[in-house]
Amino acid sequence: MISREPTLERLAQAEALLLAPFGLSDAHLSAALQTIAAHRIDDADLYFQSTRHEGWSLEEGIVKSGSFSIDQGVGVRAVAGEKTAFAYSDDISEAALQDAARTVRTIAAAGQSRRVKVGVKSTVSPSRVLYAPTDPITTLDSTQKVALLEKVERLARAKDPRIVQVMAGVAAEYDVVLVARADGTRAADVRPLVRLSVTVIAEQTVGGVVRREVGTGGGGGRFGLGYFRDAVIEAYVDQAVNAALTNLEARAAPAGAMSVVLGPGWPGVLLHEAIGHGLEGDFNRKGSSAFSGRIGQRVGAKGVTVLDDGTLPDRRGSLNVDDEGQATQRTVLIEDGILKGYIQDALNARLMGVKQTGNGRRESYAHVPMPRMTNTYMLPGTLAKDEIVAGLKRGLYATNFGGGQVDITSGKFVFSTSEAFWVENGKIQYPVKGATLIGSGPDCLTRVSMIGNDLELDTGVGSCGKEGQTVPVGVGQPTLRIDGLTVGGTA
């Protein structure tokens, strides 16, 4: 059996799903792009997408809800100077395509753009194979999906009698996209995505007072539902149960300026929010980021190296190509404390006179692309976690986070811990609740004093919101010590 090169195979799959059933061919795509380019533009593209999503949820031992949805359509974009015209339709047809093309070409304004020659010969965008082009919805049947959720509940309740409620959910998505650009570039991707989530409530009564705490766990990535084997499920359940039971014993958190040790993995969400968003190209082109105009300057302590990497196999934030047809890449943003570059899509890269980084992302065909993170993480250092914690005289050891907010312009952030411990003289004393980290992203990078050798990526649960659009992302970091952070507490 002779197989096609994977990039061509994905393109064939996308054309079979998104073009052929509607009587469209590459010639129709070129004709629509030529309609747009009749006026002066700098760029144009067509983005076809079909997404199937299925979800199941369990509560009180019963699968109480299930959902299935199909969404498909095409987005048409024209760019002139800094201006973008965008139209979309859930009707994939030649008529809808031409109507959208005529709508967006009115963007052109004299002197602000150039005439773009539409590529007559199609060229395939180079890419890689980071995940199998599988439909995860079909990797387990309905009975198996229900059994998976029931297993989660049994395991959680068996861990401790104080677990009084278990909620679990499993979701699978099959996403196929096709990008046609004005220069003749054609790109496609077939994107599986799954996630299993676990939430437990623990309860205990002390001195007649009932106390309840919540713990969460879960993960996923770009593969089939068969990934959730017994060992994986048990790890997620342990994570949720341990968090809930730990918080049952938690005391009020101290407040004030202190050293804080951040655990590996998911605590990298602070890096994502407080640093990553400030390194996105649109904020820096407009001068609204705390990192604007600082390329080549020191923005962090020595040893601090931050990457955005969309090429990690099977990761939630990874893509073979971004939503503009550009191959994703491994981008060094900060190297040994020195700012090296920004995260770029096509528009902002062109306006800033730099190369794209494969970070043009959009929530769906009904949204415009913008520079967005993929998997953002800090590289490890040389110190053991125990050594970092042992060096803490009085401070906080935060191993998990809930929600947070950040101001891009100032870099100031507020993050709530969901699992943290008070440390004195290098020894963990007791868990604390209600601790909030307050600081500035650019400032806290300079306060990193110890970097662990235990880099971890999150388990595959991250979603990032920006300007009303949500996309899957990954985060990660090793254990870090940051000195002089302000901790808001309840003690």
Of the pLDDT bands very low, low, confident and very high (cuts 50, 70, 90), residue 15 is very high
Centroid of chain to Cα 364: 14
CA 40/CA 36 separation, integer angstroms: 9
Write out the two tokens for 269: 């969400």
Q: Could you give the 3-state DSSP secondary structure of residue 193?
A: strand
- Tell me the pLDDT tens digit for each residue of 120-154: 456 666 668 999 999 999 999 999 999 999 999 99
Rounded mean pLDDT, 74-87: 93
Nearest by Cα to 123 from 175, 191, 188? 188
Find the angle CA(280)-CA(450)-CA(456) to the nearest 5 degrees.
Answer: 60
Q: Where are the alpha helices (DSSP H) in 160-272?
A: 230-248, 269-271
Q: What is the pLDDT of residues 109-118, one digit of tens each?
A: 444 445 444 4
pLDDT of the residue at 39: 79
Q: Are 130 and 223 a contacting pair, CB within 8 Å?
A: no
pLDDT the model gives residue 122: 60
- Cβ atoms of 175 and 260 within 8 Å: the answer is no
Digit-coded pLDDT (tens) for 219-268:
999 999 999 999 999 999 999 999 999 999 999 999 999 999 999 999 99
Q: What is the mean pLDDT of residues 351-356?
A: 96
* Span 470-487, pLDDT tens digits: 999 999 999 999 999 999
Q: What is the pLDDT of residue 117?
A: 47
Q: What gap in Å lies between CA 398 and CA 379, rounded to an integer? A: 19
pLDDT of 294 strictly over 90: yes
CB count, 10 Å around CB of 463?
11
**Strand partners for 167:** 59, 199
Cα dihedral 445→446→452→453 (10° resolution) = 80
Give per-residue pLDDT as tens, 166-194.
999 999 999 999 999 999 999 999 999 99
